[in-house]
Amino acid sequence: MSIFNKKRIGLFPLEVVLFPESMLPIYVFERKYINLINKTIATDGQFGINLSYAYKFYNIGCTASILDIKHHQDEDTYDILVIGKQRYKIVDYKESSEKYNIGEIEIIDDDVETIDYSILDKCIEIYNKITEEIKITKIEKIDYGKLSVQYPSYYIAQKSGLTLAQRQKLLETTSENKRLLIIQKHLESMLPMIKEAEFITQLVRNDGYYIPKIDNI
């Protein structure tokens, strides 16, 4: 690992996995993390978000930049909107004078490879099929032509109902094609369950009667 890939940042453990290019709203109320946000604002810098869940702290996380901020002065709390930037691994950390941890991190780069667009196409196709099956709410389809992100896997993942463990696995995977395959498998497993759930919902709504779709004659 190059020395140029190392840096030191404040750490914000949360019960969430942040992906590169993904946005996340956070309500900040603990004093030590308010101090961290104040420091980040003052230096126009970044901080790190790591998953902390079920008594386990995961050392691979994602740096975050603040896009928007609202300071609630009466409570001295913040509502912030952040965007994920780069994945990293914590090499070492220590407590700062303001009580939040500062980590020495190594930036994680993706493997050098060409995206397999056949896998990406399949992921989008299955995802859009799922949106068609869900009737109780409207979910926007993914428009392939408007997909202008560096990591399509992370864009699709944040819309796909992954568990925290699945999201962390994706964050730790350094191949875009492997991430897409993980998402494809997940979406393929979801589709029949979505159909079953919608069927049950319609039965409940109609007192046990299933009303089939009838094409116009």
> Per residue in 79-118, pLDDT tens?
999 999 999 999 999 999 999 999 999 999 999 999 999 9
Beta bridge partners of 66: 82
Instruction: Report the range of poorest mean pLDDT among 45-49, 81-85, 113-117, 205-209.
Output: 205-209
Sorted by sequence, the CB contacts under 8 Å of residue 50 that are 6+ apart come out as 11, 12, 13, 14, 57, 58, 59, 60, 61, 90
Helices (H), 49-116: none
pLDDT number for residue 5 = 72
Candidate CATH numbers 2.30.130.40, 2.40.50.140, 1.10.3720.10, 3.30.1280.10; the one for domain 3-108: 2.30.130.40
pLDDT bin (cut points 50, 70, 90) of residue 213 is very low
Q: Where are the alpha helices (DSSP H) in 79-173?
A: 117-133, 152-157, 164-172
Give the whole-angstrom CA distance, residue 171 versus residue 211: 42
54 CB-side CA count, 13 A: 2
Stretch(es) of the chain classified as CATH 2.30.130.40: 3-108
User: What pLDDT was estimated at residue 199?
Assistant: 56
pLDDT value, residue 214 = 43
pLDDT score at 208: 42
